[in-house]
Structure 1
Amino acid sequence: MKVVKFGGSSLATGEQFDKIIKIITDDPKRQVIVTSAPGKRFTHDTKVTDLLIQYAQTILAHQNPNAIIQTIWQRYAEIGQNFALTAADLQPLLTQLTALATTNYPSDAYLLAAFKAHGEKLNAQLLTFVLQKLGYTAQFWDPQTIGLTVTDQPNDAEILPETYAKLRQLTVQPHTFYIVPGFYGLTSHQHIATFSRGGSDITGAILAKGLNAQLYENFTDVNAVYAADPRIVAQPQPIKKMTYRELRELSYAGFSVFHDEALIPTIQGQIPINIKNTNQPQLPGTMIVPQQQLQPHQIVTGVASDNHFAALYLHRYLLNKQVGFTLQLLKIFYKYQISYEHMPSGIDDLTVIFDRRQFTPAIKQAMCQEIQATLQPDQLEWIDDYAILMVVGEGMANKVGVVQKIIDSLAQNQIGLHMINQGASRISIMLGTKQADAPKAVQAIYHTFFHEE
């Protein structure tokens, strides 16, 4: 049995529904189907999830929601009409969409979560109706019914372990499709809570592990995972096969084709993942497998970069002899609920790299002032102009001279480095550069390794 997840662009129109129905009916093993909310139909379109957020904001502002309800409803109605579903057939969906406005929620955060989750929920029910209309046996699996239980974080929930025990009790009958909405689960108090944005990938991975699927197929709108961002490197090589940890490392620095949190259940269950294109399903896509199932044929698998970082630079003479300096620094981070990414250091200086999306201007200012007052460094500098690059490959682990080749390629292109760090696994090298240098750095490293090979 395979678990199959379709992204928002794959479910945006009736024509796209036709494609996914052909995909799932072409392979009898594709029985458990995870849906996203309808995505964009064209460049300047609005995703249904964003429309639902607008709907929630309308309710919170005590405004009339009729216009936004009709806008959202029209998206589902148009898909249904493509399969000759009548207004009566679709009425249960409209009733649920309308009822969101009058339901009581424990907090505004839970209200927002419930509204967002209905993008996936209504789409899963709609796909169930469509398959039944076409004569297939299809069943809607509500996350509440099948026991997808999550933590009490309404818009950033995590799955609870008891979910897997409940999923193992489910029976998948032959010749039956089971349609599951992605992105959300139910708390122990039966309130809807969503995963982080893009969390339908997570739902698919949870089901793949819980149902012991032989494969988790993730259909999106790209042919494969590429060795570099096609917006940075022209026609980069597609990656045929990679390991979980390679994708995890690359996702950290901007590879967004697959939600990085979705890797955890598949790693735990040792479930291979196949990323494929809904619009060209005959292509092999990219296989993501356990480490022991990959024999690397090249040194580097991929190069990625991201700009959502910042750094705090601290200089103090004899820092290496200052007992408790780092402990006091970490206590200040904890006070402001700030996590750090990396902390490279020298004998007299220390740099702390953050995901800067955690900070408001007020938090940044207050935290830096407290660090200055408490630790009294000789120099404190906040650096917003910071990008992280990841160079990743299982083939790097036993290859001498990789770091030198990277440094040489950057030097030849007049690119300076703020930081370089290689993990203990030796399959990834992290680089810090100025934001403006990051695209050129990716290009230089890519051409060094892939043109050579």
Structure 2
Amino acid sequence: MKVVKFGGSSLANGDAFEQAIAIIKDDSARQIVVTSAPGKRFKNDIKVTDLLINYANAVINHADYSAIQNEIFSRYEEIGAHFGVQRDQLSVIHQIIVELPNGDYPDDNFLMAAFKAHGERLNARLMALVLQKLGINARFVDPKEAGLIVDGEPNNAIVDPQTYNNLAAFDYSADEKLIFPGFFGFTIDGNIATFSRGGSDITGAILARGFHADLYENFTDVDAIFSANPSIVNDPQPIKRMTYREMRELSYAGFSVFHDEALIPAIEGNIIVNVKNTHAPEKPGTLIVPDQGFHPEQIVTGIAGGKHYAALYLHKYLLNREAGFTLKILEILNKYGLPYEHMPSGIDDITIIFDRKLISDDLVQKLCDEVRATVNPDSLEWIDDYAVIMVVGEGMFNRVGVAAGIFTELAEHNIRISMINQGASRISIMIGTYKKDADNAIRAIYQHFFPEK
């Protein structure tokens, strides 16, 4: 049995739905279908999820929202009309949209989560309706019915382990297609809570593990995962096979095809993931496989970079002799609820790397002031002009000279390195550089490891 997930662009309109349905029908093993909310139909279009966010904000701010309600419903009505689904058959979707403001929400955060989740929830209902009209035995399954329980924050939920027991006990027949909405689950109190970005990917991985699927197929709008960002490197090499940990390292640094957190349930269930193109399903795509027994074909699998970082640099002589120095800094970060990404250090220096999107300018100043007052560094510098590049590959494990080759290449291109850190797994090297140099650095490193391209 396979779990198959379609992204928003793969379900944006009637034509896209038609292609997704052809994929579902093409393989009888594709039994669990996960839907995203309808995405953009054209360049300047708006995603249904964004419409729902606007709807939620209008409700919170007591503004008129009738026009938004109609615009949201028209997206589903347009898809239904493509397949001859009558308006009265879509009445349940219209009713759910109209009644959203009347829900009993603990606070505005839960209200927002519930509104956002309905892009996927209504699209799954619509997919089941369309499949039934086409004579396919399909059933809409709400996460509440299936026992998909989540914990954590309303807009940043995590799956509760009890979910897997509930899914294993879920009753269904061998010849029916189960249509699940992605992106959300229900708290123990019965409230909707959504996963973070890439939420439908997470749902697909949860279902793949819970139903013990043979394969999790993730359909998107690209032929494969590439060894570098095609907007940076011209015609990069597609990746045929990669490991879970390679994908997580690269997703963290900037690979946007598959969210790194979405892999965790698949990893825990030892499920192989296949990323494929909805519009070219005959192409093999990229297989993401367990680490055990993997034999890399080349040294580096991929290179990724992100420009959304900043760093706090501290210098203090004999820092390494001062017990509790790092602990004091960590206590300050904990006080402000501020996670850090990495903390490479030397005998007199520490660099703390942050996701800049998570820290305001005001918090930057407070952080610097408190660190200066608490640990009294000889010098302290906040660096906003910071990019992180990850060079990742199972073939790097115990390979001599990989870092030297990277440094030589960057030096020849006059690219300054501000930080380097090799992970304990020995399959990745992290490089810090200036934002303006990041794209050129990726191109240079790519050319070094993929010279034939």
Query: Same fold, TM exceeding 0.5?
Result: yes
Counterpart of 1:368? 368
1:37-436 matches, within 5 Å, as 37-436=37-436
Q: Which runs of 5+ in 1 are unaligned?
A: none
Give the C-alpha shift of residue 291 in structure 1: 1.3
Counterpart of 1:12? 12
Per-residue CA deviation, residues 316-351 of structure 1 (Å, 9 max, x unaligned), is: 122121222111111111111111111111222211
Q: Work out the CA distance in 1 between the residues paired with 2:285 and 2:450.
A: 19
Change in Cα spacing, 1:393 to 1:151, as seen in structure 2 (3 Å) is: same
The answer on whether the counterparts of 2:198 and 2:262 sit within 8 Å (CA) in structure 1 is no
Counterpart amino acid of residue 385 in structure 2: D
The answer on whether the counterparts of 1:241 and 1:294 sit within 8 Å (CA) in structure 2 is no
Q: Work out the CA distance in 2 between the residues paired with 1:159 and 1:365.
A: 35
Give the C-alpha shift of residue 163 in structure 1: 0.3
Counterpart amino acid of residue 362 in structure 1: D
Q: Work out the CA distance in 2 between the residues paired with 1:424 and 1:129.
A: 50
The answer on whether the counterparts of 1:306 and 1:387 sit within 8 Å (CA) in structure 2 is yes
Q: Work out the CA distance in 2 between the residues paired with 1:259 and 1:423.
A: 20
Per-residue CA deviation, residues 181-211 of structure 1 (Å, 9 max, x unaligned), is: 0000000000000001220000000000000
The answer on whether the counterparts of 1:185 and 1:192 sit within 8 Å (CA) in structure 2 is yes
The answer on whether the counterparts of 1:110 and 1:154 sit within 8 Å (CA) in structure 2 is yes
Give the C-alpha shift of residue 101 in structure 1: 1.6
Structure 1 residues 321-330 or 388-397, which shifts more? 321-330
Per-residue CA deviation, residues 55-103 of structure 1 (Å, 9 max, x unaligned), is: 0001011011100011111100000000111111000000001100222
| Root-mean-square deviation over aligned CA pairs | 1.0
The answer on whether the counterparts of 2:76 and 2:123 sit within 8 Å (CA) in structure 1 is yes
Give the C-alpha shift of residue 27 in structure 1: 0.2
Give the C-alpha shift of residue 294 in structure 1: 2.4
Give the C-alpha shift of residue 362 in structure 1: 1.5
Q: Work out the CA distance in 2 between the residues paired with 1:383 and 1:104.
A: 45
Per-residue CA deviation, residues 102-143 of structure 1 (Å, 9 max, x unaligned), is: 222110000000000000000000000000011111001100
Counterpart amino acid of residue 119 in structure 2: G
Counterpart amino acid of residue 436 in structure 1: K
The answer on whether the counterparts of 2:205 and 2:263 sit within 8 Å (CA) in structure 1 is yes
Counterpart amino acid of residue 431 in structure 1: I
Give the C-alpha shift of residue 452 in structure 1: 5.5
Q: Work out the CA distance in 2 between the residues paired with 1:416 and 1:393.
A: 23
The answer on whether the counterparts of 2:227 and 2:237 sit within 8 Å (CA) in structure 1 is yes
Counterpart amino acid of residue 372 in structure 1: R
Give the C-alpha shift of residue 174 in structure 1: 2.1
Q: Work out the CA distance in 1 between the residues paired with 2:34 and 2:127.
A: 10
Q: Work out the CA distance in 2 between the residues paired with 1:403 and 1:103.
A: 56
Give the C-alpha shift of residue 358 in structure 1: 1.5
Q: Which runs of 5+ in 2 are unaligned?
A: none
Per-residue CA deviation, residues 152-189 of structure 1 (Å, 9 max, x unaligned), is: 41000000000000000023422211000000000000
Q: Work out the CA distance in 2 between the residues paired with 1:56 and 1:293.
A: 48
Structure 1 residues 48-57 or 164-173, which shifts more? 164-173
Instruction: Report the secondary structure of 2:117's partner residue.
Output: helix
Q: Work out the CA distance in 1 between the residues paired with 2:197 and 2:428.
A: 26
Q: Work out the CA distance in 1 between the residues paired with 2:52 and 2:120.
A: 11
Instruction: Report the secondary structure of 2:158's partner residue.
Output: coil
Counterpart amino acid of residue 199 in structure 2: G
Give the C-alpha shift of residue 293 in structure 1: 4.4
Q: Work out the CA distance in 2 between the residues paired with 1:242 and 1:431.
A: 21
